[in-house]
């Protein structure tokens, strides 16, 4: 509790991160990690078979990827670390201590990737003839570097779900090779390949003429490329599914479909499966009848696979709740080890940026507001996404909660909702929080983004 509170009270902090992160994952996987080897492979193939029309098509697809990855891709990549650092500095600080050299290597690899994509794109038209082989080698190096950036970050993502033997060894390698790492790395690699195939399919439609041979040939080839990765992708996602810690599985319905939709988990699962099957069907259709369909249908696989990967990211992010770093730190930044100490000595007194240090009869509601900021606001807003006011009224339709009822509920919050962390303060602070939440039902409150006021 060493940092001031940043609060995006309309969007919600989680949504802010999710928006940036999901856009980044889609761009990273489909436009970079997957697309670079895809283009390199087809470039090699076009070169060996002497297909210049293919070479031109691939260059155009690369042009799109070049612009998207170096602008939105790079910005959202850095944006993830900016947004997570302001929302939960304690969590990012902890990760930095474990993964310092990994992050450093990431930076080096990323710079190499940028240099290589510049070289790959800008020399495409110049390195022809005898130099084409060298150009293909640049493509291979670029593919390796793109993959490495993902391979490093995946270790950190896996660590957040299950740190494995790190608590015993406390070294980088133990954290890097966490139980979720290898399955997730293979899952993401194969998913990236399939995504790139679908993306190339969608872009090929844009860059080829209707009813041309190049159109039907590219549709068939890129769909074939996507289908090629489907079986390994399915197998590795099953392996990954098994690597999720068993005790987190109770979170799955909520993780998959949010609290509001958790009761319809079965329905959502069927819907997701349907999306996957439609995508599969369109790809098979492309193989069999590359000429006989409307153009826009070839965009469907990419859209559906983006939807699926976004759904996967949401589930992965949520399923480790109540932790932000599994078995180490709760979502609100409270370390599991310090929780008993805070319960004894108080959350307010141990936080650097609070005005009310203890709870007294005069400041109960004000202190409760600060307890809310410290203990709840990483995930909840007052008026926006995942609003605490709406959550309260939804639980108790048409009535207001009494302070005692809220207090009793908060006391037992982890038992009632396994993905909620246990309340991290003293009984007096819990009562203060209840007083604030009870007041919120009738009064409005606004939380500025720089919610904690500096003390003099």
Partner 1 sequence: MNDTMESRPELPTDPRWKPERTVLILAAVVQILLIGSAIWYSETSPATPIDTTRRLVPEVIVPEDVVFRDTEIAARKGREIPPVDVRQAATPSPEALNEGTRLYSEHCRLCHGPGGRGDGPAGTTLKPPPRDLTRLSGWRNGTRLSGIFRSLTLGIPSTSMPAFDYLTHQQRFAISHFVRSLAAGHEQDTDTSLASLDKEFSLSQGAREPSVIPVSTALERVLAESSGEPEYRALTGNDSPTASLLESLEEPDGRSRLNRILSSDTTWHQDIERFRNLICLDPAAAGVKPRVRFLSDEEWQKLHALLRELLVE
Residues that bind partner 1 (CB under 8 A): 45, 48-50, 52, 55-56, 125, 128-130, 132, 179, 182-183, 186, 190, 228, 231-232, 235-236, 238-239, 242-243, 245-250, 253-254, 262-263, 322, 336, 339-340, 343-344, 394-397, 399, 402, 404-405, 408-409, 411-412, 414-418, 421-423, 425-428
Which one, 21 or 420, has the nearer CB to partner 1? Answer: 420
Are the C-beta atoms of residues 406 and 434 closer than 8 Å to each other? yes
Which one, 80 or 417, has the nearer CB to partner 1? Answer: 417
Minimum distance from residue 249 beta carbon to partner 1 (Å)? 8
Minimum distance from residue 278 beta carbon to partner 1 (Å)? 24
Which one, 35 or 326, has the nearer CB to partner 1? Answer: 326
Tokens of 108: 């080096």
Which one, 301 or 421, has the nearer CB to partner 1? Answer: 421
Minimum distance from residue 182 beta carbon to partner 1 (Å)? 6
Minimum distance from residue 52 beta carbon to partner 1 (Å)? 4
Which one, 131 or 270, has the nearer CB to partner 1? Answer: 131
Minimum distance from residue 356 beta carbon to partner 1 (Å)? 15
Which one, 110 or 181, has the nearer CB to partner 1? Answer: 181
Closest CA to 260 of 150, 109, 394, 355: 394
Which one, 83 or 154, has the nearer CB to partner 1? Answer: 154
Question: What is the distance between the alpha carbons of residues 445 and 138, in angstroms, rounded to a whole number?
Answer: 57
Strand partners, 329: 325, 335
Minimum distance from residue 188 beta carbon to partner 1 (Å)? 13
Contacts of 326 (CB under 8 A, 6+ apart): 160, 161, 162, 163, 245, 248, 320
Which one, 15 or 228, has the nearer CB to partner 1? Answer: 228
Minimum distance from residue 375 beta carbon to partner 1 (Å)? 12
Which one, 127 or 299, has the nearer CB to partner 1? Answer: 127
Minimum distance from residue 272 beta carbon to partner 1 (Å)? 20
Minimum distance from residue 379 beta carbon to partner 1 (Å)? 16
Question: What is the distance between the alpha carbons of residues 57 and 59, in angstroms, rounded to a whole number?
Answer: 5
CA 419 to the chain's CA centroid: 18
Alpha carbon distance, N-terminus to C-terminus of the chain = 18
Minimum distance from residue 293 beta carbon to partner 1 (Å)? 25
Which one, 301 or 425, has the nearer CB to partner 1? Answer: 425
Which one, 49 or 442, has the nearer CB to partner 1? Answer: 49
Minimum distance from residue 239 beta carbon to partner 1 (Å)? 5
Total residues found in the chain within this entry? 456
């Amino acid at each position: 509790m060493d940092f001031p509170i940043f609060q995006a009270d309309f969007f919600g902090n989680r949504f802010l991160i999710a928006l940036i992160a999901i856009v980044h994952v889609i761009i990273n996987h489909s436009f970079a990690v997957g697309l670079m080897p895809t283009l390199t492979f087809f470039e090699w193939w076009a070169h060996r078979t002497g297909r210049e029309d293919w070479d031109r098509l691939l260059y155009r697809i690369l042009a799109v990827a070049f612009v998207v990855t170096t602008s939105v891709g790079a910005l959202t990549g850095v944006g993830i670390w900016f947004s997570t650092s302001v929302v939960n500095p304690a969590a990012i600080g902890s990760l930095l201590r474990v993964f310092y050299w990994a992050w450093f290597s990431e930076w080096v690899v990323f710079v190499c990737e940028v240099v290589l994509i510049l070289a790959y794109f800008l020399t495409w038209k110049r390195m022809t003839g005898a130099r084409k082989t060298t150009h293909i080698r640049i493509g291979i190096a670029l593919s390796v570097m793109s993959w490495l950036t993902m391979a490093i970050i995946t270790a950190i993502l896996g660590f957040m779900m299950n740190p494995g033997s790190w608590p015993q060894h406390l070294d980088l390698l133990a954290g890097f090779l966490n139980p979720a790492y290898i399955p997730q790395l293979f899952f993401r690699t194969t998913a990236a390949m399939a995504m790139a195939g679908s993306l190339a399919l969608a872009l090929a439609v844009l860059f080829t003429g209707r009813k041309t041979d190049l159109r039907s040939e590219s549709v068939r080839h890129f769909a074939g490329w996507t289908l090629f990765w489907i079986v390994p992708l399915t197998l590795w996602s099953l392996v990954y599914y098994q690597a999720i810690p068993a005790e987190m599985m109770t979170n799955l319905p909520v993780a998959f479909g949010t609290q509001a939709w958790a009761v319809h988990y079965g329905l959502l699962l069927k819907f997701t499966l349907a999306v996957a099957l439609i995508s599969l069907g369109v790809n098979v259709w492309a193989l069999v009848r590359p000429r006989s369909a409307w153009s826009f249908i070839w965009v469907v696989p990419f859209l559906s696979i983006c939807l699926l990967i976004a759904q996967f990211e949401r589930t992965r992010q949520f399923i480790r709740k109540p932790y932000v770093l599994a078995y180490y730190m709760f979502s609100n930044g409270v370390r599991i080890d310090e929780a008993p100490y805070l319960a004894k000595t108080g959350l307010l007194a141990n936080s650097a940026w609070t005005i009310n240090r203890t709870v007294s009869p005069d400041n109960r509601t004000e202190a409760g507001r600060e307890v809310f900021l410290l203990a709840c606001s990483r995930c909840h807003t007052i008026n926006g996404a995942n609003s605490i006011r709406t959550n309260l009224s939804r639980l108790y339709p048409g009535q207001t909660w009494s302070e005692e009822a809220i207090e009793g509920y908060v006391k037992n919050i982890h038992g009632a909702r396994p993905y909620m962390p246990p309340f991290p303060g003293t009984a007096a602070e819990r009562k203060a929080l209840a007083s604030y939440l009870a007041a919120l039902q009738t009064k409005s409150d606004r939380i500025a983004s720089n919610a904690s006021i500096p003390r003099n």
